Amino acid sequence: MPFVSLLFVCSLLLIPHLFGFVMAQNQKPDTGRGGSIGVILDLGSRVGKEMKTAMEMAVEDLQRSKSSSVQLLVQMRDSHGDPLQAGSQAIDLFTDEIIALVAVPTWPEAAFVAQLATRSQIPLVSLSAPAPGPPSYPFVLHVSNNYLLEMQAIAAMIASYGWRRVNFIYDLHSGDVILASLTEALTAVGSEIDQRSVFPELKSLSESPENDIKEELQRLKASQTRVFVVHTASMALGSLIFREAKKMGMMEQGYVWIVTDSLSSLLESMNSSTISSMQGVLGVRSFFSETHETRAFSLRFQRRFLMEYPEEECGKPSIHGLRAYDTIKLLAQSMQKSTETRRNHGSTLSPKYETQTIWNLTIFEEGPTLLAEIISTESRGLSGEIMFRNTEVQGLGVVEIVNVFGKSYIEKGFWRPELGFWRDGERNSSSMHVLGQVTFPGPSYVTPKGWAEPSDGKKMRIGVPIKKGFKQFVEIKHYNASSRNETEVIGFAIDVFEEVVKRLPYALPYEFVPFNGSYDELVDQVYVKDIDAAVGDITILMNRSEYVDFSQPFAESGISMLVKLKPNNSKKAWMFMRPFTKNMWLVTGAIFIYTGIAVWFLEHKVNPDFRGPFKKQMATLLWFSFSTLFFAHRERLRSNYARVVLIVWLFVVLILTSSYTASLSSMLTVQKLEPAVTSKQQLLRSGASVGCERDSFVSSYMKEVLQFDQHNIKPYQWEDEFSQTLSNETIMAAFLEVPYLRLLLSEKNCKGFTTVGPTYKTGGFGFVFPRGSPLVADISKGILEISESGEMLRLENKWLPMTQCSSSSTNIKNEDRLSLASFWGLFLITGGISTFILLSFHMHRYLMGKTDEGARERNLWKHILMVARHLDAQHGKVMVMELTQGGTSDLEANEDARTHANTSNRSDSGNLEANEDARTHDNISNRSDSGNLEANEDARTQDNISNSSYSGNLANHPVVPPSSPVN
């Protein structure tokens, strides 16, 4: 009873509003103050109901507003979700004096209506998202975001989790438009659509639509892809899909479901049973900020909506209702501006024109002007700021990410093309992890891998090549056991694949299928999906990667040239030159000569062995330098400076001679081999035959890249064929991939062959999968894992052992010779010390030359004193005089009572020394250059007094006959 009373009171309150709205619809507007607006909606859908209620509220708010003088007449039409019905209703409206039209939110309906609006020049405001590409209809304005932005956000989520394939479920009405946008966005991130499922209108399905949906979901479930993207314009169809998916176990752990804005924007409007079946679903939707005005409108809307549609559980408006409300307000604002402009010019809006078109459509003469007013109008509505760029609204470009959980959903964060994912207070990132923990179906917090093995129990058919040579990689063995043929596949590539499969976090049933054909044909079998994958020594090539996917390479590869070795009998006469390189010989000779010059410069003034004519001095210089090689130099050095230079040089000579002797001995005793062919150009010039592996891409590579003639290329299969044909020179070289060369250069064959020339890089050996296969990422990750764990090395040692003999596969011609790099330190030491000694010697001479001038002034006194001492000695007196001049000279006297007296006076720069030879003579010599004055006296025969003159030597004086000895 209280409920009936409440309902009665509410009805009384709504009567004036309903009466005013009906009156507004049944009367003609004043064309000078407003106009008639046509609206086409699917009034049976949730979106259509929301838009109808929101538009009615907008008209009522305008009528009550004092700031608006526009009177609007809204003519509602129901399309029933049928594009043909929508077109019929549009024709009816266009003949009924409307000046603007608001269209339905599904693109097929809007597309046909857009053509009619363009013909009639009536502005059409479409609540549907614009189609990709440039605008096709100039009179159509879109207030919804482009589908591409929404699909880019979904693709970013898929790329963040590493999912390579998705299944796309969509309805027939809007799916074709959104399919192009989703395909473009997925391609940009390296993913693709695996399976597509198209549903017609719900009413177009059979009497039991659940069976049709179940049958289609069963088909999708049988595939390996577990990521589903759902886009349906009908909330009823979307709800039914998720309820059936839950019944079929497709909302369990391991599955991923993503819904577009068409469903995620209506999550608050869905009933509890639908929300329960959508647990763990991710959604993207247009973002709008909730303000005080939005919350106030939402409260008003809920009361009115639930009153009109009591069958609905939730009355909260979605973004569609807000946009409908804003659109009516926008049209009213634009019409008011247009009316004021024409009133100033004395004219009014005229909805009719004389010219008639097909279907009796009238052309709105003022349509272009009103369109321009709408585009130029900027307003702030409940759904956000409305500002047009050309014919599309310039939105925020922000997509909101939501996650269904519990009784509703959780707002996880946002996405923007230039920023990626982010949430309030957090940094942006290209990874979904920045949004926090996401709940997936199950519910589960573990990120699904996005695919699973087929639920029908079928095994993957993996093709393996049938090889006749190099079976260490792949070998197929056949056994007859118990009257049943059994096949075993072994080899390095097989062991690597099986080891990777063991490390996958899921079971992967498979079986090997032998294939007899070329490698290109084997790859083609994967492309046409006759087999599910291919395993073997298959080289990763660019042209193959265009239509299949390769895993991470498990073996490095490249193409090298194998040639025969022959004895090197040339240039034996000059073998003695080979221990040193050319630069080494040149620098050694230069340092020999430099050392000889340094010694000569230090010795030629004090050592008579380094004096004489110029030719003699040059011969002595060269002889002394090179005789040190054998330590046979006979010249004695007088200068300590030269002795230091010679000591260092003899140490260098010892090192050089020892190294030369050891290197030459090695060259003379070890037999040297050299390649029979040294370069590819030599083969091309001579037109020699070359070999390669049969059924390999190397043959075409040699022809197209290396420029060999086809008739010179000889294909072989067995390892022995290559060694035999190279030995007997049937072919002069063999071009093989590096892993095959490693096997061929085994201890059995390598002693007569080597590799020369560069290695032409290739992509390596990898496993082949169909384009977009989700297995590629897991297999590649497994290959990296076994490589880092050391398991790959163990398998290589098992199947591809590296022997010591393989070290001969180097270029013998580039043998080790003693180069300057090994001895530059020695040369630097001896050269540096020689240079330092020369500089020190010159500095010493320069400093000593400063004292010569003072020494010349003291020479006269020295001469006089010596004569006086000689005369005194004849009378039996010994005089010792000391003369000090300027505090810089000393006079020392020594007397020999038996024979003679020698007097020596030392100046500032030297000493006066007296030496006596009792038997022969006394020589007194004073040299100012060196700072010494020497005097020698012969008591028996003569006294020679020599004094250096202005040039620094004492002049000779007459000999005074000695007197009788003094007793």
Low-confidence ranges of the chain (pLDDT < 50): 1-32, 349-350, 352-354, 483, 805-814, 853-854, 856-857, 860, 877-967
CB 896 within 8 Å of CB 879? no
Residues 6+ apart with CB under 8 A from 843: none
Q: Which long-range contacts (CB under 8 A, 24 or more apart) does 610-613 make?
A: 610/635
CATH node for 460-553? 3.40.190.10
Q: Taking the domains of the chain in order of start, what are their residue ranges?
A: 36-143+320-382, 147-288+396-435, 460-553, 560-568+673-762, 575-669
C-alpha to C-alpha distance for 438 and 944, rounded to whole angstroms: 118
* DSSP element (H, E) containing 327: helix 319-344
Helix (H, G, I), strand (E, B) or coil at 739: helix
Residues listed for the chain? 967
Residue 353 CA to chain centroid, in angstroms?
64
Q: Are strands 943-948 and 954-957 parallel, antiparallel or unpaired?
A: antiparallel
pLDDT of amino acid 169: 93
State whether residue 382 is helix, strand or coil. coil
Contacts 24+ apart (CB under 8 A), 617-621: 621/596, 621/597
Give the CA diameter of the chain: 175
Name beta bridge partners: 714: 691
pLDDT of residue 379: 80
The type of residue at 621 is L
CA distance 16 to 22: 10
N-to-C CA span, the chain? 173
| DSSP codes joined into one string, 491-528 | SHHHHHHHHHHHTSSS---EEEEEE-S-HHHHHHHHHT
Who's near 672: CB < 8 A, 6+ residues apart? Answer: 567, 568, 812, 815
**Over the stretch 614-654, which tens digit does the pLDDT of each residue have?**
777 777 777 777 777 766 566 677 777 778 888 888 888 88
Q: Which two tokens stand for residue 735?
A: 């071009």
Kindly report the number of other CB atoms within 10 A of residue 860's CB atom: 10
- Per DSSP, the residues of 829-883 read HHHHHHHHHHHHHHHHHHHHHTTHHHHHHHHHHHHHHHHHHHHHHHTT-------
- Is 560-568+673-762 assigned to CATH 3.40.190.10? yes
- pLDDT tens readout for residues 150-172: 899 999 999 999 888 899 999 87
- Write down the pLDDT at residue 820: 81
Helix, strand or coil, per DSSP, at residue 898: coil
Residue 223 to residue 455: CA distance in whole angstroms: 8
- How confident is the model at residue 522, as a pLDDT? 94
β strands within 131-220, DSSP E: 140-142, 165-171, 192-199
714 within 8 A of 690, measured Cβ to Cβ = yes
CB under 8 Å, gap of 24 or more: what pairs does 840-849 form? 840/641, 841/601, 841/602, 841/641, 848/909, 848/929, 848/930, 848/931
Q: How far apart are CA 151 and CA 283, in angstroms?
A: 11
440 Cβ contact list (under 8 Å, min separation 6):
253, 255, 256, 280, 446, 447, 448
Superfamily the domain 36-143+320-382 falls into:
Response regulator (3.40.50.2300)
Give the number of other Cβ atoms within 10 Å of residue 196's Cβ: 13
**Can you give the pLDDT at residue 513?**
93
CATH 1.20.200.10 fits 147-288+396-435, yes or no: no
Which token pair is 611?
């004096």
Looking at this protein, which amino acid is placed at residue 451? W
Residue 903, helix vs strand vs coil: strand
CA distance 541 to 438: 39
Pair of tokens at residue 480: 């007859």
Cis check: omega of the bond before 105, within 30 degrees of 0 = no
All residues at 6 or more sequence positions from 63 whose CB lies less than 8 Å from its CB, including other chains: 20, 24, 71
Do 460-553 and 560-568+673-762 show the same overall fold?
yes
Place of tokens 């040239």: 561
Both structure tokens of 699:
């043959």
CA 139/CA 850 separation, integer angstroms: 107
**Strand, coil or helix: what is 463?**
strand
Distance separating alpha carbons of residues 869 and 537, to the nearest angstrom: 111
The C-alpha atoms of residue 162 and residue 813 are separated, in whole angstroms, by: 51
List all residues 6 or more positions away from 895 whose beta carbon is below 8 Å from its beta carbon.
Answer: 873, 878, 880, 901
pLDDT at position 4? 39
